[in-house]
Amino acid sequence: MTETAVETGVFTRSLTVTVNGSARSAEVENRLLLVHFLRETLGLTGTHIGCDTTSCGACTVLLDGVPVKSCTVFAVSVEGRELTTVEGLAGAAGLSPVQEGFHQEHGLQCGFCTPGMMLASTALLAENPAPSEEEIRWALSGNICRCTGYQNIVKAVQYAAAKMKEAS
Amino acid sequence: MYPARFEYHAPASVEEALSLLERYGDEGKLLAGGQSLVPLMKLRFASPRALVDLNRIEGLDAIRQEDGHLTIGALVRHRDCERSEALRGRYGVLGDAAPQISDPIVRNLGTVVGSLAHADPQGDWGSALLAAGGHVEAVGPSGTRTISVDDLLQGPFTTALEPTEIVTAVRVPDPGPRAGGTYLKLERKVGDFATVGVAVHLSLANGTVGRAGIALTAVGPRNLRAREAEERLAGATLDDETIREAAQLAAEAAQPRSDNRGSADYKRSVVRVFTERGLREAAETARAGEEER
């Protein structure tokens, strides 16, 4: 059934994506995972590698505003799309409401899961500005924290929601 | 933990994707959401020579109700199903399964059709779509063929698809307004595969059951249809005795194995309890649909 004429193939590709508002280009291997593209090619090490098996959510980034696990996406497959990493959360005015919430409510202990938590929280609040506690816990159920027991993470998101309501 | 090297193509049309698959044969692999394939490639359980990424193809990402069917395109994500109004009520078996798949972040990328074609016996969509009597549209070099989900799923990670075929959509026949369904899943934690899952889908006609679909997850080499339970229900009045008997037949249809998620006996009991619960819930939705008329 198989008749493959291709003995040597093309295993790299030129990739252009928008990361935190800036266009970034690089020649990458097709097999390069998005998380390694961000961390190693672009040097954006705020995105963490936790389990590397699509379980923990530490590597969560926003792809066109939607949270995805960047350890389970090939970089070449996001050509032309927009990515937000933790480095892109703070604006000219300082920390984003979600970042401020994690700071004020102490929504972390070791901090390893925090970038992923904050990106998942940012996406939640963009879709649902006034989530219930259950909705927050549900939205963050793909992100694992081994320190906090989640109490203060929930409070951090509630803080951010209140802050955003105040500002609007 | 890198995958092996592969060639990458992102065709803009189904036709282009088909010609790429023809070129690579069984060394080509389709990429949709990637939430099963990428982990397999990272572990090198799968090392395709080429990936054919479907994500640039337009028109595959819609949930539509047309010609007496609900159609879920090849690029519809679990997330889309979770948020779709169309997947409630009569299609509740699908709408209830969606939010129980993996975790919310995986659901943002993973697709229904990809999950179905992956044919993991612990996959939830296989059961939901079996119960709903679904079929897939498979496009290949010699045209389109329709394959029932029952025929599609052949065994663990094995389907009736040819390597040169693309499933463009899965379709479920409209059971009418007097129908309901649900999916019950026991999982140890969010993101885990099912310990046991039971999909129930039924339609009512003049107070008796029209068609009943019951399918089981994680208790066999593939998603199993509980045929004897379905037959017991068809044409019957849905009273307590019928429900209990059907649930017992469903439990007997299960082929569970003892593992770290539970003993075989325990899993069989869960099938019975879930089938009973599912039938009651589905009947309630179906009756509500009847009253609306």
pLDDT in tens, A74-91: 999 999 999 999 999 999
**Does the CB of B84 have a partner CB in chain A at under 8 Å?**
no
Q: pLDDT class for A9, splitting at 50, 70, 90?
A: confident
What's B59's DSSP letter?
T
Does residue A108 carry a pLDDT above 70? yes
**Does the CB of B49 have a partner CB in chain A at under 8 Å?**
yes
Lowest mean pLDDT among A4-8, A152-156, B28-32, B172-176: A4-8
Question: Are the C-beta atoms of residues B133 and B69 closer than 8 Å to each other?
Answer: no
- Number of A to B CB contacts under 8 A, please give it: 106
Q: pLDDT class for B292, splitting at 50, 70, 90?
A: low
Nearest-CA distance B142 → chain A (Å): 15
Question: Are the C-beta atoms of residues A19 and A46 closer than 8 Å to each other?
Answer: no
Chain segment A117-168, per-residue pLDDT in tens: 999 999 999 999 999 999 999 999 999 999 999 999 999 999 999 999 999 8
Q: Do A1 and B39 touch (CB under 8 A)?
A: no
Q: Do A73 and B109 touch (CB under 8 A)?
A: yes
Q: From CA A95, how far away is CA A105, in angstroms rounded?
A: 14
Q: How far is CA B162 from CA B45, B84, B141, in A?
A: 20, 31, 10
Q: Is A106 left (phi over 0), alpha (psi -120 to 50) or beta?
A: left
What's A86's DSSP letter?
G
Query: Measuring CA to CA, which residue among B287, B256, B283 is closest to residue B269?
Result: B256
- DSSP of A61-130: EEETTEEEEGGGSBGGGGTT-EEE-GGGT-BTTBS-HHHHHHHHTT--SS-SSHHHHHHHHHHHHHH-SS
Q: From CA A133, how far away is CA A119, in angstroms rounded?
A: 17
Indicate which of B105, B106, B192 best probes the interface with A, i.e. most A CBs within 10 Å of its own CB.
B105
Q: How far is CA B166 from CA B15, B50, B143, B146, B160, in A?
A: 10, 15, 11, 12, 12
Query: Measuring CA to CA, which residue among B119, B189, A156 is closest to residue B127?
Result: B119
Strand partners, B66: B69
Q: Which residues of B touch A142 (CB under 8 A)?
A: 102-106, 190-191
Q: Over the range A124-159, which residues count as b (16 or more CB within 10 Å of their CB) and which as e?
A: bbeeeeebeeeebebbbbbbbbeebebebbbbbbbb
Chain segment B123-182, per-residue pLDDT in tens: 999 999 999 999 999 999 999 999 999 999 999 999 999 999 999 999 999 999 999 999
Question: Are the C-beta atoms of residues B173 and B149 closer than 8 Å to each other?
Answer: no
| Out of B4, B35, B38, closest to residue A74 by CB | B38
pTM for the model stands at: 0.95
Query: Measuring CA to CA, which residue among B249, B187, B186, B185 is closest to residue B212?
Result: B249
Across all residues in chain B, what is the average pLDDT? Answer: 96
Share of residues in chain A with pLDDT > 70 (%): 96
Q: pLDDT class for A7, splitting at 50, 70, 90?
A: low
Q: Which residues of A touch B120 (CB under 8 A)?
A: none
Residue B149 one-letter amino acid: V
Nearest-CA distance B80 → chain A (Å): 12
Q: What is the ipTM of this complex?
A: 0.95
**Does the CB of B31 have a partner CB in chain A at under 8 Å?**
yes
Q: From CA B215, how far away is CA B180, in angstroms rounded?
A: 15
Q: Do B49 and A9 touch (CB under 8 A)?
A: yes
Does residue A6 carry a pLDDT above 80? no
Residue B270 one-letter amino acid: V
**Does the CB of B106 have a partner CB in chain A at under 8 Å?**
yes
| Out of B50, B106, B163, closest to residue A142 by CB | B106
Share of residues in chain B with pLDDT > 90 (%): 96
Indicate which of B2, B5, B8 best probes the interface with A, i.e. most A CBs within 10 Å of its own CB.
B8
Nearest-CA distance A2 → chain B (Å): 5
Query: Which structure tokens are listed for B287?
Result: 């009756």
| Out of A4, A74, A138, closest to residue B24 by CB | A4
User: % helix / strand / coil in chain B, to the nearest 5?
Assistant: 40, 25, 35
Q: Output the pLDDT for position B206.
A: 86
Q: Which residues of A touch B25 (CB under 8 A)?
A: 1-4
Q: From CA B91, how far away is CA B69, in angstroms rounded?
A: 11
Q: Which residues of A touch B109 (CB under 8 A)?
A: 68-69, 72-73
Residue B286 one-letter amino acid: A
Query: Which structure tokens are listed for B195?
Result: 């310990």
Element (H, E) at A44: none
Q: Output the pLDDT for position A5.
A: 45
Q: pLDDT class for B289, splitting at 50, 70, 90?
A: confident
Nearest-CA distance A166 → chain B (Å): 28
Chain segment B42-87, per-residue pLDDT in tens: 999 999 999 999 999 999 999 999 999 999 999 999 999 999 999 9
Mean pLDDT, range B241-247, rounded to an integer? 98
Nearest-CA distance A163 → chain B (Å): 25
Mean pLDDT, range A21-47, rounded to an integer? 98
Q: From CA B189, how far away is CA A33, in angstroms rounded?
A: 27
Q: How far is CA A139 from CA A42, A96, A109, B147, in A?
A: 28, 19, 20, 35
